[in-house]
Chain A
Amino acid sequence: MSDPALPSIIVDDVTKHFLKRRTHSLKEAFVTWAKRKPVRADRFIALDGVSFSVPEGEAVAVLGLNGSGKSTTLKLISGVLEPDEGHVYTRGRVAGLIEVGAGFHPDLSGRENVYLNAAILGMNRQQIEERFDDIVEFSEIGDHIDQEVKHYSSGMFMRLAFSVAIHVDLDILLVDEVLSVGDAPFRAKCEKKIAELTAEGVTMLVVSHSLGMVQKLCTRGIVLHQGKKVFDGPISEAVARIK
């Protein structure tokens, strides 16, 4: 991250379609094809020519109603999805608090899951070993760390998953509705940690329905409506538009 003049994220005229599939087997696909109906089904436009860029160190909220394309935007930036048209570029290490705990295996112990998930999120062995104690401490899991994760309460599970994700080295943080994690004190701790990261110059993109929270964390808001960008500006105005 040498040149602060360069943006951290560029989303350039991105369009993403989803297919409402009609066919789920080769036989169905063949029958549909034989009847001269389109095999690849109806298109549903999730994002329609969206462009924006995020300068290094800025915290941006992506707002919109359900189905407006918020999560799709995040998935395109994380690389899980690829745009059908347009381009997405990122600079630096991207890490997502997107559905934390996706890589957790219920039959493995908390400890094993920390190692596995930290590695999934891109940490190497040495980094994990260095940060392991911090991760456990932040999660407040304590001695339960050697228990199988399936015996955890949902709060404990989310705390540990969040704690792993937040300890990954990153330049760009994607946050998708995970701050409803745990009880109020833990939530406050998470928000504090995220504020610290922003202060360190981490670029952040947040998707949330909690308008109060995004106003606290972000300075800029992008409003999506049916896959199109309808507003891009100060967070207070963006929130006002949603209301």
Chain B
Amino acid sequence: MSVTDVDLSAFDTPGKGRGLLDVFRRRYLLRLLVRKGTATRYRNSVLGWTWSYVKPGVQFFVYFFIIGIVLNAHRDVQYFPVYLFSGLILVNFFNEAFGNATTAIVENRALVRKIYLPRELFPVSAIIVALIHFLPQAAILLVIVVILGWVPTLTSVAIAFAGLALMATFALGLGMMFGAVNVRFRDAQNFVEIIRMVAIWSTPTIYTWGLMRDVLPEWAFNIYFSNPLAIGVEMYHEAFWAPIIDGTAAWPPHALWNIVAASTLALVTVVVGQLMFRHFERTFAQDL
């Protein structure tokens, strides 16, 4: 038999999906996968979701004590705890989303090897689980800044959402890239650990960008702030911290351009991530 005798228009080619677009067509499954991720995360632990507060809490107090009190940032930066916390939760969201997305395929190997489904579902659901994790931390931040006199404005809320969307996009793109490579080379996982370790230092979370400008030449400073993480943290400072301090906190000199560059970079990582994912996906089932 030859295929040329048959009208192939009625046929499908198994295993050929439409990538991220398929995720939107399988929304119900995505929802169940997210629910599975949140429901099983702290199974068999006594404190359960409390760990989600303990870990960032400890991290916060360590930075606050060392940077704020020992190194005296407290004196130079008004409401330093708010400055620190607003950036910290965003970096933590990125780190968790990126880390989860990277290991998403390997962790779901039982499914990936046996049943075909759009594999992009796994990194996407990992990002959404991280987002759900982020929300209570954001709630704490909101309570604190409202007590300190923060009044939501259209601008500040829009900036906060934009910053979060920027982080999620960047984490998804990188997560698909490294997650796909990770199936064949588990080195990717370790490499991602390094990126996550460096992440917080690449942003003005525990220092102010003024200090960075003092040491970097102008071109390098612009590259520094074209990092979605760095400009994202600064967006969070502008959204939550700047409105409550006396006087104004200046945006970095080319903030708008930095945001454009960072957004472009995040979108490019999603496109490249999707392409890499499609390339490696062909052998997922046999490499796992």
Residues of A within 8 A of B (CB): 2-3, 6-7, 10, 12, 18-19, 21, 24-27, 29, 51-53, 75-82, 87-91, 94, 96, 98-99, 102-103, 105, 107-108, 112, 115-116, 119-121, 124-125
**Contact call B14/A90, Cβ cutoff below 8 A:** yes
| Residues of the A chain whose Cβ atoms lie less than 8 Å from the Cβ of B28 | 119, 124-125
**Binding-face segment, B68-76, B97-105, B112-120, B161-169:** B112-120
Chain A CB within 8 A of B40 CB? yes
Residues of B within 8 A of A (CB): 1-3, 6-8, 10-16, 26, 28-29, 32-33, 35-36, 39-40, 43-44, 110-117, 185-187, 282, 285-287
**Contact call B116/A78, Cβ cutoff below 8 A:** yes
| Residues of the A chain whose Cβ atoms lie less than 8 Å from the Cβ of B11 | 10, 89-91
A–B Cβ pairs within 8 angstroms, 8 of them: A21-B287, A51-B1, A75-B285, A78-B115, A79-B14, A99-B114, A102-B114, A112-B35
State the 10 A-B residue pairs at the shortest beta-carbon distance, nearest first. A79-B15, A79-B14, A79-B116, A102-B114, A89-B11, A119-B29, A107-B43, A26-B187, A80-B285, A99-B114
**Contact call B115/A119, Cβ cutoff below 8 A:** no
**Contact call B15/A82, Cβ cutoff below 8 A:** yes
* Whole-angstrom distance between the Cβ of B41 and the nearest chain A Cβ: 10
**Contact call A88/B14, Cβ cutoff below 8 A:** yes
* Whole-angstrom distance between the Cβ of B29 and the nearest chain A Cβ: 4
* Whole-angstrom distance between the Cβ of B195 and the nearest chain A Cβ: 16
Give the most central of A7, A27, A96, A120: most B CB within 10 Å.
A120
How long is the Cα–Cα vector from A89 to B16 in the complex, in angstroms?
Answer: 11
How long is the Cα–Cα vector from A3 to B10 in the complex, in angstroms?
Answer: 9
**Contact call B10/A25, Cβ cutoff below 8 A:** no
**Contact call B187/A116, Cβ cutoff below 8 A:** no
Given known A-B contacts A51-B1, A107-B40, A78 and B14 have beta carbons under 8 A apart: yes
Given contacts A80-B113, A98-B114, 10 further A-B contacts (CB under 8 A): A10-B1, A10-B6, A25-B187, A27-B187, A53-B1, A79-B14, A80-B114, A99-B114, A120-B111, A121-B115
Partner of A102, one of B1, B3, B29, B110: B110
**Contact call A120/B29, Cβ cutoff below 8 A:** yes
| Residues of the A chain whose Cβ atoms lie less than 8 Å from the Cβ of B286 | 18-19, 81
| Residues of the A chain whose Cβ atoms lie less than 8 Å from the Cβ of B282 | 82
Partner of B15, one of A18, A80, A96: A80
How long is the Cα–Cα vector from A190 to B255 in the complex, in angstroms?
Answer: 65
How long is the Cα–Cα vector from A119 to B35 in the complex, in angstroms?
Answer: 13
How long is the Cα–Cα vector from A18 to B283 in the complex, in angstroms?
Answer: 10
| Residues of the A chain whose Cβ atoms lie less than 8 Å from the Cβ of B16 | 79
How long is the Cα–Cα vector from A121 to B282 in the complex, in angstroms?
Answer: 20
* Whole-angstrom distance between the Cβ of B271 and the nearest chain A Cβ: 22
**Contact call B6/A6, Cβ cutoff below 8 A:** yes
| Residues of the A chain whose Cβ atoms lie less than 8 Å from the Cβ of B1 | 10, 12, 51-53
How long is the Cα–Cα vector from A180 to B62 in the complex, in angstroms?
Answer: 57
Given known A-B contacts A78-B115, A119-B28, A119-B29, A105 and B3 have beta carbons under 8 A apart: no
